[in-house]
Amino acid sequence: MAVKGVKRDIRKQSMEELISFFESKGEKAFRGKQVFQWLWQKSTYDFKGMTNLSESHRQLLEQHFTINPIALDQSQVSSDRTIKSRFKLHDEHLIEGVLIPTPKRMTACVSSQVGCSLSCKFCATGYMDRARNLDAAEIYDQVVQIKDQAREYYKKPLTNIVFMGMGEPLLNYQNVLTAIDHITSPQGLGMSSKRITVSTAGISKMIARLGDDQVKFNLALSLHAANDEKRDKIMPINQSNSLQALAHALNHYYRATGNEITFEYIVFYDFNDTLKDAEELLKFTRKVPSKVNLIEYNPIEKASFLNTEKDRLQQFAAFLERHGVNVTIRYSRGKDIDAACGQLANRS
């Protein structure tokens, strides 16, 4: 319900609500559809830019609504051409997003929360407090700005989006799904759901809910250890979301969507890099159709973990491959500007 004299955030209005607004002012319903298109397809942040609306229509919007876009605060370009951007929100909070360029892909890594509440021991964001969730428009804006960077810097379109920035996406469930709807809808950016991956530290009931909602995007689980004792040590969320519970939720998700799961596994030196660890991971991969990304660890100041040695990593990968697991080794991008996986913490 609108409060008299207080402008509403127009990007929190559905198309139906915008249509109803115009109809309540004695205007045609299609005006609401026009505004919705300006907001989500053309990414317009200023009512004055809605040029197929009359001056009186634009003034009407100014009187009743506001737009709160994120603003680029600063950006850094890595030696490997990765671009890290710090964005300022309308309430002065800061978040980070990353453009990861490769010969075949332009990937946007976006945040879903200001900070994080899960306290994973290897992740810089995990040492921050969670200030608040991002709303759907703030997630969408990251994609738009990083998409523009891909065009400006590399003359290429954005091809992929990963929710692997700051925060736990499944603890901001509805805003993440609403943002993805605006990103993939023909009335929005029109990107393919198959080009989007949401990564979770493992919230069992929300993984099951993804299945219930029959989402079309890809799901990745930050696993990093395939036994509960080790995972408890580095990911406190595991104490309330055990591997057994996660396997059950993942199977529900797979049966509902038909999408295989990606297991992300950072290989830490002398912690989870032995062949016994590989055997445990192999056993877990057989619980649900999946593939494995082995990830290079990116050191942070507040943790003492080390990246495993190259020969151990190769042996680990070879063991999984011999047993039929689809394995990819992911090497870090943007490490020199603290833009790599696990390093985002609003540091310049």
- pLDDT given at position 292: 98
What's the rounded Cα separation, in Å, for the pair 250 and 256? 10
Name beta bridge partners: 203: none
pTM to 2 decimal places? 0.93
For the chain, which residues score pLDDT lower than 70?
Answer: 1-5, 333-348
CA angle (120, 81, 195) in 5-degree steps: 65
User: Tokens for 229?
Assistant: 């004792």
Phi, psi of 106 (to 5 degrees): -125, 110
Q: Which domains does the chain have, with CATH numbers?
A: 8-66 (1.10.150.530), 71-337 (3.20.20.70)
- pLDDT given at position 121: 87
- Active site amino acids: 96, 341
- pLDDT given at position 289: 97
- pLDDT given at position 212: 98
- If DSSP codes are grouped into helix, strand and coil, which group holds residue 85? strand
